[in-house]
Structure 1
Amino acid sequence: MSETLSATTSTPVPPSPPSPRTLAVARLRDLALVPAIVAVAIVGSIVNPVFLSSDNIINVLQGMSEIAILVLAQTIVLITGKMDLSLESTFGLAPGIAAWLIVDPAITHGLGLQVLPAAWAVPVVLLVGALVGAFNGLLIVRFGLNGFVVTLGMLIVLRGLLTGISGGKTFFALPSSMTYLGSATWLGVPASIWVALSLFAAGIVVLGHTRPGRALYAIGGNVDAARAAGIRTDRMLWLALIVASVLAALAGLLISGRLAAVPSAQGNGAIFQVFAAAVIGGVSLNGGRGSVFGAFTGVLLLFLIINVLTLAGVPAQWTNFLNGAVILVALVVSRITGGKAQT
């Protein structure tokens, strides 16, 4: 009898599926920013008729594409209940390492090593991203260190490493393998927009309709319950950190291609926009809540507002003020509507 009771109590109980009402509320939450986006578009058209022109819309989408991929990366990590501050440094370091190993020092006045052929550019960028994510996972998952502190330290280390290998200068004379995705045009639209939209579409499918995606939400909601339900939480957390870093590296490659250069300060301060977009898009800083589509609407709304302010003649120096204000407003709204702040 005791053996039977023991077997019964040790069997993990799978989480019950969400009710239709819960799913409906979640879908409505995903669309919460759509009216705000429409309102900003109306205001923008009034401020300046150029706002709704195809050229301006494409410029906005291209300008936000790299940060949008960073937002996607951060969303994946936030859903698990963690956060990765080092993404902004990976954004600069990954293409910086590739440029350092590939560019010709004879052209760049001694900057660079030219020890690898140009064809290795993209693999090196993605490999650097994967290594950074794996190392973060080692410290956070295997050694159980605080994720905020670990990634804050990595942000500083990676930023210092990029400054060190570049001497505080800008890598230029990049090979076409590094500039193609950031400068090419497909069907009349910049390739970076297609890449960003494709990644968000994949994120919506994976996080919303696959077992690994549901596992990430379960981990963010209650890691102990997820582990009891048979989810390999350590492996999934590690994988989420690696995927996020690879996405950050890819985003860095896109902006390096668009600028045809890798500045030593690339990505500096980008994490503020990333968190602003994620929070306003409904992604909880506690984990287990939020969606890829919501994150996309968050970054779109943020960049549309910035574009309207630019067309209205507001100085760009007010951007950081806007990002901080957006985070505070989103937290207050979350408190009012949900009864609990997303801290």
Structure 2
Amino acid sequence: MPPATELRALPETGTTEPEGRRLKLARLRDLSLVPVLLVLCLIGFIVSPAFLTSDNLLGVGQQSTELSLLVLAQALILIVGRMDLSLESTIGLAPVVAVWLVLPDHGARFNGLGLLPEWTSIPLCLLVGAIIGLINGFLILKLRLNGFIVTLGGLTLLRGLQIAISEGQSIVNVPSSFSYLGSATWLGVPAAVWICTVLFAIGGSTLAWLRHGRALYAIGGNAEAARAAGIRVDRLVWAVLIIGSLLAAFAGILYTGHYGSISADQGSGWIFQVFAATVIGGVSLNGGRGTLFGALTGVLTLQLVVNVMTLAGVPPLWNQFLNGAIIIVALIISRFASGEKQE
């Protein structure tokens, strides 16, 4: 079915705003954080001249990559009208399982099984992520369980499994492939930054230009209208859930390689930052609205705020308060930017 046929179903969702005006508003929302980023850069330079140095900016980029991949995953899932809370546990469990199956027992506190060669560590990690997304999709789409409760339960279950396998200890021996991707530099820029940029570009291009990408907006806007237009709603939603978990597992690879170890609570509490970055970036919690560029600017905003606070000597104990405040402000911004009427 041609893309135009699918997209003609969108006006049936009850939206009467002209298409041209919607596109202009969408572009404005995408760029709404750009002035904020410029102001943060100015404040950062005033606070410390070291802010605009290449080392500091590359450091911010490196530290943003893992969170960016989780935001990329969550943005795709929100656009299609769903949410996945288990992403923050997938970033920890997937690398733990891969390392557990690959590393041999060497008498340390963490004892691996050593069943598979080391080169399989990355494919194993991604496979774990795909399986998590597959199970989430089955429970939500086939058994028709509430997605919020399913992924909330998955968050707790996966976190418990991670702690049980790692025996509550940090794993300091990681495969060389993990270490390379997390710490390598290509053309003077961390490899993780290049990889993250490419993935965002692919995702953004898919949403903007490909038929299946545009169909995600139709599903998030009105799933029944999308189904009536011939879009295979369940199949696409299931695919997005799997892709989201794959991205979370890959974020786990980069994070593990960056820090050279896997902590027992890796990823804990990240989901709050993920939602904050996604929503202030213009992605609607109600589905069918937002872009990956906007989501990326949300990540950069959060990371620059933390970086400026650090350079200003603000204690990191305030970071949790700041994240909570940003989430509340993000919801307020989302409420008014969407133009939705209060019932």
Q: TM-score, normalised by structure 1?
A: 0.93
State the number of aligned residues: 332
Contact 1:334–1:340 (CA under 8 A) maintained in structure 2: no
Contact 1:277–1:302 (CA under 8 A) maintained in structure 2: yes
Could you tell me how far 1:226 is from its partner in structure 2?
0.5
Match of 2:15 in 1: none
Could you tell me how far 1:69 is from its partner in structure 2?
0.5
Match of 2:129 in 1: 129
What SS class does the counterpart of residue 288 from structure 2 fall into? coil
Contact 1:331–1:341 (CA under 8 A) maintained in structure 2: no
Match of 2:52 in 1: 52
1:316 partner amino acid:
P
Match of 2:306 in 1: 306
What SS class does the counterpart of residue 139 from structure 2 fall into? helix
- Map residues 217-236 of structure 1 onto 2, 5 A cutoff: 217-236=217-236
Match of 2:9 in 1: 15
Could you tell me how far 1:75 is from its partner in structure 2?
0.3
- 1: distance between equivalents of 2:326 and 2:76? 21
> Residue 130 and residue 16 in structure 1: after superposition, are their counterparts in 2 closer, same or farther (change >3 A)?
closer
Match of 1:207 in 2: 207
- 1: distance between equivalents of 2:109 and 2:161? 20
Could you tell me how far 1:316 is from its partner in structure 2?
1.3
Contact 1:100–1:171 (CA under 8 A) maintained in structure 2: no
Match of 2:289 in 1: 289
Contact 1:272–1:320 (CA under 8 A) maintained in structure 2: no
Question: 1:261 aligned to 2:261?
Answer: yes
Unaligned runs of 5+ in 2: 12-17
Contact 1:108–1:173 (CA under 8 A) maintained in structure 2: no
Moved more, 76-85 or 99-108: 99-108
Could you tell me how far 1:109 is from its partner in structure 2?
4.1
- Map residues 247-258 of structure 1 onto 2, 5 A cutoff: 247-258=247-258
Match of 1:276 in 2: 276
> Residue 191 and residue 12 in structure 1: after superposition, are their counterparts in 2 closer, same or farther (change >3 A)?
closer
Give 1 or 2 for the bigger CA radius of gyration: 1
Residues 89-113 of structure 1, C-alpha deviations (whole Å, 9 max, x = no match) = 0000000101111123216345211
Residues 171-205 of structure 1, C-alpha deviations (whole Å, 9 max, x = no match) = 12212122110011111111111111111111110
- Map residues 38-117 of structure 1 onto 2, 5 A cutoff: 38-106=38-106, 108-117=108-117
> Residue 110 and residue 288 in structure 1: after superposition, are their counterparts in 2 closer, same or farther (change >3 A)?
closer
- 1: distance between equivalents of 2:184 and 2:337? 43
Q: For the aligned residues, what is the CA RMSD? A: 1.7
- 2: distance between equivalents of 1:317 and 1:182? 27
Contact 1:206–1:213 (CA under 8 A) maintained in structure 2: yes
What SS class does the counterpart of residue 307 from structure 1 fall into? helix
- 1: distance between equivalents of 2:27 and 2:184? 35
Q: TM-score, normalised by structure 2?
A: 0.93
Could you tell me how far 1:334 is from its partner in structure 2?
2.9
What SS class does the counterpart of residue 243 from structure 1 fall into? helix
Match of 2:179 in 1: 179
- 2: distance between equivalents of 1:150 and 1:69? 22
What SS class does the counterpart of residue 78 from structure 2 fall into? helix
What SS class does the counterpart of residue 284 from structure 1 fall into? coil
Could you tell me how far 1:13 is from its partner in structure 2?
9.1
2:180 partner amino acid:
Y
- 1: distance between equivalents of 2:175 and 2:289? 41
> Residue 163 and residue 35 in structure 1: after superposition, are their counterparts in 2 closer, same or farther (change >3 A)?
same
- 2: distance between equivalents of 1:13 and 1:270? 35
- Map residues 141-152 of structure 1 onto 2, 5 A cutoff: 141-152=141-152
- 2: distance between equivalents of 1:38 and 1:12? 39
Match of 1:318 in 2: 318
Could you tell me how far 1:341 is from its partner in structure 2?
8.0
Aligned residues: percent identity? 56
Could you tell me how far 1:338 is from its partner in structure 2?
3.6
Match of 1:330 in 2: 330
